[in-house]
Amino acid sequence: MLSPVRGRTIICLAAFTVGCSLDESGLRAGDASGDAPIDAPIDAPADAPEEPFVCADAGVASCADAAPYRMPALFSPDAAAPCPAGYDTHDLVLAAPDAPNCGCNCADAGTPSCDTSAIDYHYGFGLGGCATGNGAIALSGTCTTVTEPTYATENVEIDTPGITGGCSGGTSVAPPASSTNVRLCVPECASDQTVCSAQGALRACVYVAGDVPSCPSDYASGPFYVGATPQVTCDGCSCAASGDCTGSTAHLYGDTTCGSGDLPFQMDGQCHALTGSGATWQSANVKPSLAGYQCKVTPGSSHLTYVGESFTVCCK
């Protein structure tokens, strides 16, 4: 670089026609301040802020096979793979529930039975079947005093009781989730063409916000649903007692203690003709019969969501 004096001499020679003079110290004639020459270089302060990155093109990288409505990005299942310069780094997780269905806690209502607090019946005569009328009697497995007449030509149908006790309700229990740290690299300048090709451990991919269940044909590897702070949610589950109560019977007795003159009625929901002579009965009870009991559990499906940002990534 030219020294201040020599540089000023050259400038003066070039501008001789307009006049220019220096004294022996290299200052402009008449300048007694002792300051540096006016053309001396000025250094920027050491703490001057770095100029921000500015993208010169607001377009999107023209990757030939990029999918519509998705943005190009680089992606790696290895969170240690660094993003290139000029890319924003998104450290995320790839998570999935450990089971497709949630668990289900059932309420326990005690020992299952076909015992009942009341029976519903229908009756009729002759060819009319059991369509003449209907009613209900408060009966259970305990002997109950009744005054119940029957007739020799009568038909009776008693509804099958429902199951009491057993399981019911249902509360879903979410399974744990397994997760892997991943990295998504998004170019600061959308038009950066380097995003169209894989770079080391980083794969060439496209991404879209949210959970999208499929990938375009040109980016068929995936979808990878990634995000921040995963959690597993559940659909509702249910527990229902089931079994066969058609073997239960209602019994009428000739005394008040359910000890003699037993007349049974099968509680199978079918119309039956009575046999024998009519009578008025003094007591009754139900003898429940349960076959094939099971607690049917219908679990709810498990779903993964992210509390923070989330993306669907598809790769080549």
pLDDT tens per residue across span 138-167: 998 899 999 988 888 899 999 999 999 999
pLDDT of residue 10: 30
Residue 66 reports pLDDT greater than 80: no
Query: Which segment, 15-29, 194-208, 275-289, is predicted with the most confidence on average?
Result: 194-208
Beta carbons of 302 and 231 less than 8 angstroms apart: no
Among 73-87, 151-165, 272-286, 290-304, the range with the most confident prediction by mean pLDDT is 290-304
CB atoms within 10 A of CB 172: 19
In a 10 Å sphere around its CB, with 0-12 CB exposed, 13-18 middle and 19+ buried, how is residue 13 labelled?
A: exposed
Confidence of residue 57 (pLDDT cuts 50, 70, 90): low
> Considering the entire predicted model, what is its pTM?
0.62
Residue 3 has pLDDT above 70, yes or no: no
Predicted confidence at residue 9, as pLDDT, reads 30
- Is the pLDDT at 60 greater than 70? The verdict is yes
| Residue ranges per structural domain of the chain | 1-40, 71-99+176-225+303-315, 106-169+239-297
Token readout for 290 is 């349960």
Using the predicted structure, report yes or no on whether residue 192 has a pLDDT greater than 70. yes
Averaged pLDDT for residues 92-97: 96
Q: Is residue 253 a contact partner of residue 260, using CB atoms and an 8 Å limit? A: yes
The CA distance from 196 to 273, in Å, is 84
DSSP class of residue 25 equals: T
Q: Of 54-63, 85-94, 169-178, where does mean pLDDT reach its minimum? A: 54-63
Neighbouring-strand partners of residue 315:
205, 221
Q: 211 pLDDT band (50/70/90 cuts)?
A: very high
